[in-house]
Amino acid sequence: MKFDQALIPGILLKRYKRFMADIKLDDGNFVTAHCPNSGSMKTCKEPGWKVLLSESTNPKRKLKYTWELVHNGKCWIGINTHLANRLTVEAIQKGWIPELNGYTKLETEKKYGQNSRIDILLSSEQQTCYVEVKNVTLVEDDGYYMFPDSVTSRGLKHLHELAEMVRQGHRAVMLYAIQRADGNEFRPATHIDPEYAKALKEVQNQGVEILAYRADINPESIELKHPQEYILD
């Protein structure tokens, strides 16, 4: 996925109210940008870190800029959770996720379960596959990529709905899209949300498949290409 425009560099001053971030641009101007990430953003929001913003030409937007990337001194981190589905769709279409090859139809945001929408629905004459995508930005001192970075009742609901799809005879996949490159294997963040971590192991035992893929990230593009090992507690 290539960015539609050259991103604008700056320095993070602070992230607050979940969806706002104050940035000092490299040209000296100060702006408030939209933060497209509702999580805690642990290990992704230190004041003084370099950031890259996109700029909207929509006059109806309250905030002109959107925070896209942050650099922690080791690598670029993609903090825009809304891009995870787009990255995964591109990776499937280009054959970068071989576990999801062979389907003839790809749909997004299809209704299923209890008033939910599946991120990606793959289908062929032989099989239907439900793919839920979660954006991963957390790496802590032990070096593991982790999800979630805060308690997620919504994520827990999605796990149970994937398990129900398996019970109905379909294939179901929980895919973690990792938007940074300074960690090792993926594992659930048991210390943050033990209920989610427990449920992930339970639904795997019920037939839900788990995939973790890491993205290549630079100021021009993001591509989800690299399979990662995972460990369940």
Question: Which sign does the torsion angle of CA 151, 155, 157, 162 carry?
Answer: negative
Which tokens belong to 214? 């890491």
Q: What does the pLDDT read at residue 232?
A: 87
Fold designation for 8-78: OB fold (Dihydrolipoamide Acetyltransferase, E2P) (2.40.50)
Q: What are phi and psi of 23, to 5 degrees?
A: -130, 140
Which amino acid, residue 148? P
Instruction: Give the H/E segment covering residue 195.
Output: helix 194-205
Contact 112, 158 (CB under 8 A): no
User: How far apart are the C-alpha atoms of 147 and 155, rounded to whole Å?
Assistant: 10
Task: List the domain boundaries for the chain.
Answer: 8-78, 83-227
DSSP string over 32-57: EEE----S--TTS--TT-EEEEEE--
For the 83-227 domain, the top CATH level (class) is: alpha beta
Q: How many CB atoms lie within 10 A of CB 213?
A: 22
Tokens of 120: 């990606």
In tens, the pLDDT along 37-92 reads 999 999 999 999 999 999 999 989 999 999 999 999 999 999 999 999 999 999 99
Q: Which two tokens stand for residue 44?
A: 């992704």
Helix (H) or strand (E) holding 167: helix 153-167
d(CA 205, CA 226): 25
Please state whether 102 falls in left (phi above 0), alpha (psi between -120 and 50) or beta: left
Cβ atoms of residues 35 and 15 within 8 Å:
yes
> What's the pLDDT tens digit per position in 104-148?
999 999 998 777 899 999 999 999 999 999 999 999 878 999 999
pTM: 0.95
Helix (H, G, I), strand (E, B) or coil at 125: coil
Over residues 162-177, the mean pLDDT reads 97
